[in-house]
């Protein structure tokens, strides 16, 4: 795997959004207001999984989305329907992108590689199949974990931490509904979310002996399927979880669960350090004559007070599945 340089750093009529959370969670909740002509108070970059063109794209929150700062375009096949992207910092390659696709493939992309924005920039690829929905990297220990909605967590370990090409499957864990992953680098815990629960695992061993052990379950409601896990870059003490019926915050230390908002079918939810936030929420509609009823043509942004502020979309009619703050820190 790769050595690390350290832990750096969607629409309903009624919306409740996280403003600030602490442990135990102290939430302020605000009613979503009518869509306003507004801009982000703070400029930050947003990475999206756009499934119509099947690209990872990065745009600024501060301007209309016309020309992306960065694009990764892997084509189809096992890379069809890109489902997750995260960014991490490494000592050898600088910034890398961790990408998963429902078509069956996952991989690590050398983000700053010249001459290609496609699969030629892959440092490592695996094909676990079964609808992969997330991938995460565990620094220094050398394990990359991919989640699949087929119901498994797959752990990969290397023989050389600086060489992702040496990663191989070392552990498979049954995890019904597996959809989201996030690593807590403070407590050395790998979090996963799936059907009815989020679970944190201790990361044990290194190289090909890397294992996830000691799973601790946190209930998100038995009828809820978790969709994504993300950090709050406003509050490092929590993880943000979107599931079937809500977005919730989990305190990483006490495991207390607090409702952030009560809207359904939010596929991803991110919060900037300013308190501004954004989500992608499934509309249940299809676009461009295809079958993707899990997407939205817009990313919805919220101001620091929790009110709907503005949306971003693309002229050709995007099909966004995930949107995440472009940041390398686990937070």
- Tokens at 161, concatenated: 């931490």
pLDDT at res. 270 = 97
For residues 301 and 308, what is the distance between their CA atoms, to the nearest angstrom?
Answer: 6
| Residues contacting residue 114 through CB under 8 Å, at least 6 positions apart | none
**pTM reported for the whole predicted model:** 0.88
pLDDT of residue 122: 96
Residue 54 tokens read as 């099947």
Architecture of the CATH domain 16-325: 7 Propeller (2.130)
**Ranges of the chain with pLDDT below 50:** 1-37
How far is CA 90 from each of CA 190, 204, 310, rounded to the nearest angstrom? 18, 21, 34
User: What is the DSSP pairing of strand 238-243 with strand 226-231?
Assistant: antiparallel
Neighbours of 26 (CB within 10 A): 10
**Tens-digit pLDDT profile for residues 195-235:** 999 999 999 999 999 999 999 999 999 999 999 999 999 99
Domain ranges (residues) in the chain: 16-325
Q: Is 320 helix (H, G, I), strand (E, B) or coil?
A: strand
């Amino acid at each position: 795997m790769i050595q690390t340089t350290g832990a750096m750093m969607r629409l309903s009529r009624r919306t409740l959004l996280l403003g600030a959370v602490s442990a135990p969670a102290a939430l302020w909740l605000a009613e979503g207001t009518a869509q306003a002509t507004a801009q982000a108070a703070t400029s930050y970059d947003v990475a999206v999984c756009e499934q119509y063109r099947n690209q990872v794209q990065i745009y600024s929150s501060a301007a209309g989305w016309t020309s992306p700062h960065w694009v990764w375009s892997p084509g189809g096949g096992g890379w069809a329907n890109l489902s997750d992207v995260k960014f991490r910092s490494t000592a050898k390659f600088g910034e890398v992108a961790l990408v998963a696709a429902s078509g069956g493939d996952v991989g690590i992309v050398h983000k700053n590689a010249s001459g290609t924005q496609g699969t030629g920039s892959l440092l490592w690829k695996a094909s676990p199949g079964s609808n992969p929905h997330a991938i995460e990297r565990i620094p220094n220990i050398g394990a990359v974990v991919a989640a699949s909605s087929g119901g498994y967590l797959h752990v990969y370990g290397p023989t050389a931490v600086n060489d992702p090409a040496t990663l191989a499957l070392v552990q498979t864990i049954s995890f019904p509904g597996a959809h989201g992953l996030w690593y807590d680098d403070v407590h050395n815990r790998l979090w996963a979310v799936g059907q009815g629960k989020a679970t944190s695992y201790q990361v044990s061993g290194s190289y090909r002996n890397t294992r996830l052990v000691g799973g601790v379950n946190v209930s998100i409601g038995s009828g809820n399927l978790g969709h994504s896990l993300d950090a709050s870059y406003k509050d490092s003490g929590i993880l943000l979880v979107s599931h079937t019926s809500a977005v919730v915050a989990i305190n990483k230390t006490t495991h207390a669960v607090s409702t952030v908002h009560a809207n359904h079918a939010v596929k991803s939810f991110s919060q900037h350090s300013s308190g501004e936030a954004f989500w992608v929420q499934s509309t249940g509609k299809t676009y461009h004559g295809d079958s993707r009823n899990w997407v939205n043509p817009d990313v919805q942004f919220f101001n620091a007070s929790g009110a709907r502020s503005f949306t971003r979309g693309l002229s050709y009619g995007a099909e966004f599945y995930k949107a995440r703050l472009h940041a390398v820190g686990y937070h």
